[in-house]
Amino acid sequence: MYTTLISATDLAKNIDKLQWVALDCRHDLVDATAGQKAYDAGHLPNARFAHLDNKLSGAKMAANGAFHGRHPLPDKQEFIHTLRSWGVDDSSQVIAYDAHGGMYAARLWWMLRWVGHKAVAVLDGGMAAWTAENLPLTDKVPNVVLRGGVSAKTGLVSQVNVADVLANLATASRTLVDARAPDRFRGENETIDPVGGHIPGARNRFFKDNLQADGRFKPAEQLRSEWAAILPDSGKAIMQCGSGVTACHNLLALEVAGLPGAALYPGSWSEWCAEPARPVATGSEA
């Protein structure tokens, strides 16, 4: 069972097995059609396409009109139905991949764990690692074999909501870590959300700092050392980013490092900054 990362070599040995399900998570925050186009041009054999906006996110607005961020989690049962439509069942080994260092694949990794499915891993190095090994691509859409389905299980991860994060401002009992690029964290060059800055008290760990130059994750020992300098206790940490996507990359890095237990704030900065009454900090962290 693979539960964090898998190499291209190991994936190639297993990708044709019926119980293995590869999911293509390529995406572009500026062009929502880019991932589908890339998939259509060529993808891993038997891979299904998992669109961030349509399959890995839910409604942005709640029934009461509250904005939950740019990529809120979907209804859990709807997501389980989506997994079943991809042919995922309780025995499946799921592999998520993208072409962006795992920034989107990690979201799917976290969501599988959210519904209690442990056998899910991210292709380390993504498409670049696959093609570097001269492994095959195809433009054929697979015929999905619908199997028993994913049963409802206890989640393997935790999450917090905006009220929890707001309450933490007073107690600072949990360490909040923002996965966005340092300039956006400081409130500079904000082009995605309407307000620049960060949640007061947050620390910055750019998700790309989890990677080596070739796009693969750093060794576990190195990640553990780097993260230990940021988090006194991973079990009392909250990961966030712009919209709850790249925060999952930091959560995956923590799992690789052997530092589990941090929670995800799905709404992240996009939800936080939508309410003017919530405080905003700018500049570098203290």
Tally Cβ neighbours within 10 Å of residue 179.
29
- The alpha carbon torsion through 193, 196, 201, 202 (nearest 10 deg) reads 50
Q: Using CA atoms, how far apart are residues 262 and 196, in angstroms rounded to an integer?
A: 25
Return d(Cα 106, Cα 5) in angstroms, integer. Answer: 10
Write the burial class of residue 131 (CB in 10 Å: 0-12 exposed, 13-18 middle, 19+ buried).
middle
Check: CB of residue 173 under 8 Å from CB of residue 198: no
Of 25, 241, 248, 273, which is the active-site residue? 241
DSSP string, 233-270: -GGGEEEE-SSSSTHHHHHHHHHHTT---PEE-SSHHH
CA dist 121 and 123 (Å) reads: 7
Which residues, in sequence order, are CB contacts of 77 under 8 Å at separation 6+?
none
Asked about 241 being catalytic, the answer comes back as yes
Angle at 138 between CA 135 and CA 139, to 5 degrees: 155
Question: Known catalytic residues?
Answer: 241
